[in-house]
Amino acid sequence: MAQGRHQTYCKHNGSRSDRSPVSAASLTAVPTTSSLTTISPAQRATSTPTPPAPEKGKKKTASLPAAGPSKKKQKMVETKLTYEKTAEELEEETSQYIKEQLKPKVPPPREKVPLELGKKLLASLDNPPQPKSLPSDYEHTLTKAHKVRNVKKKCGKTITQLGTQQKELEPLRVPGLPLLHPTDVQLQADLQAAIFLSETRLTLEQATGQVEAEISVAPVLTPFQHGKPFVTEEEEKSLGTQMVNLHRWYLRMSNDEGKMFGVKYRDHDFFRGEDDFWVYFENLYHIYHRQAFDASIITIWVLQETQKSRKHGWHHQIGFMSPLLVNQKMLNKNYTETCQNMYDSLTRQNYKSYIFIPYNFGYHWILLILSVETGNLIVFDSMRNPKFVIQHIIDPLNRVWKKFVKNNKGPGQWRPELNVKIDYPCARQQGTDWCGYYVCDYLHIMTPCGKPTTEDMRMSQMGDECYSTDRINAVCEQLAGFILKEILDLRGEFYHDGHIHRGLPSSS
């Protein structure tokens, strides 16, 4: 037992090489238990205590690490460089690397998705959010004009100050006529004079010469000259973005001796097969100076509305007749052919609810809306002409309608003759050449079918609050943007590529 303790002590106090040599006799002479008890206290204090024996089942480990760096030599693994290896070693290393890369990888454990989260994901996939639609050029221009007008309203005086109120008799309101005093209603001549005052915006004193009227002199418009700008540099600054871009395109094309551009439409636009028409640069000049619209410009606007109806899914409810085929000039030139064109267009669109017919007569534009289900013909006329003025188009339309009712069966019993409604409340024209602009505005407002959205109602209210010039500017900006994007652009739907397939029109 004592010998084992002595060996343990030697292990804890260093190797044998570090100590003085010990003879074999000294190792054999192990002190007994009785001799250990006779050691003096001084000797016990100077001697090193014997460490306790380790417990059974545990390895013998040193209680404290050896001080200083370890004297054991670490094995250095010598790695050969690539150029030092043999061909066999390189081949073996390459094959091992390939096996390591191509061995099947263990996929990570699948994470369990909560049931509620999965249901929410499937619901969002079934009902994706609607894409955000940007406002059109028409809406953007109208919104900008509305904001400018509100700013001007806040800056000015809105409350009449004390002593500035004008005490006058309340005028008599006559339907369809301007405000008249009770004494002016009796005479027909006074009625005509009142209409004159309303149209010229003059007061009675100014018309009779008692007060000098401030009549602004209209600027002299220079006629169109090919290759020269439509507007001056100062006037160009007040134009919208699309109007400026279209003007710059014209200047580039006029330098290349271009005089017109083509528009190509398909069978689903007017149901007359694939065809085209051409627009002269002079007609663009009229847009910049608010002059009368040509039939080609109105047709471009109609193509814009057909595209919008297809985009929003309204094309099954509304249809259009081409202004190039249905107008007074075509009726006078070939009455029978024009009536046949109207009948063919009506027959191929018999499943629709409304047919829009922009019509031109005597340098004036009106909009006719034919309700196929009810047999009503609604007239939008910015000049409020009486019925006999447009009787020349009502008669052929009635003739076409009777033939249509006879040869086609609808969902109900159709009216045998059209019911003309000419007193529909619409915006009244203020400019002499603005009838075409008003027709475009009517088409833009009346084209949406079904329940109007909040945005449509907001835009309609905004349009009623704005001046008529602001709405005209909005029409011009929208028209210029559509020409640039859909007609002049190679990717546009109505771009003319020079090829026309004049096949048979569709029968549906």
| pLDDT tens track, the chain, 508 positions | 444 444 444 444 444 444 444 444 443 444 444 444 455 555 554 555 565 665 555 555 555 555 565 665 566 667 888 888 899 999 999 999 999 999 888 888 888 889 999 899 888 888 888 777 788 888 888 888 878 777 655 555 555 554 444 444 444 444 444 444 444 445 456 666 766 676 666 777 777 777 777 766 656 677 888 889 999 999 999 999 999 999 999 999 988 778 899 999 998 888 888 899 999 999 999 999 988 999 999 999 999 999 999 988 888 889 999 999 999 999 999 999 999 999 999 999 988 889 999 999 988 999 999 998 888 999 998 888 889 999 999 999 999 999 998 888 765 567 888 999 887 777 777 657 888 998 998 898 887 754 455 555 544 554 454 457 888 899 999 999 999 999 999 999 999 988 877 655 555 4
Scanning 29-112, the segments in alpha helix (DSSP H) are: 33-36, 41-46, 87-102
Beta strand pairing call for 364-371 and 275-280 = unpaired
The number of residues making up the chain comes to 508
Q: Name beta bridge partners: 277.
A: 263
**How far apart are the C-alpha atoms of 260 and 258, rounded to whole Å?**
6
pLDDT of residue 79: 80
Q: Which residues contact 479 (CB under 8 A, 6 or more apart)?
A: 287, 297, 300, 301, 304, 440
Rounded to two decimals, what is the model's pTM? 0.64
Number of helices (H) and strands (E) in the chain: give both, helices first: 20, 7
Chain center to CA of 97? 54
358: helix, coil or strand? Answer: strand
CA atoms within 13 A on the CB side of 250: 27
So what's the pLDDT on residue 184?
A: 42
Q: Spelled out in words, what is the top-level CATH class assigned to the domain 233-488?
A: alpha beta
Per-residue pLDDT at 23: 44
Between CA 464 and CA 442 the distance in angstroms is 13
DSSP 189-200: HHHHHHHHHHHH
List the domain boundaries for the chain. Answer: 2-46, 174-214, 233-488
Question: What token pair was written down for 258?
Answer: 């271009």
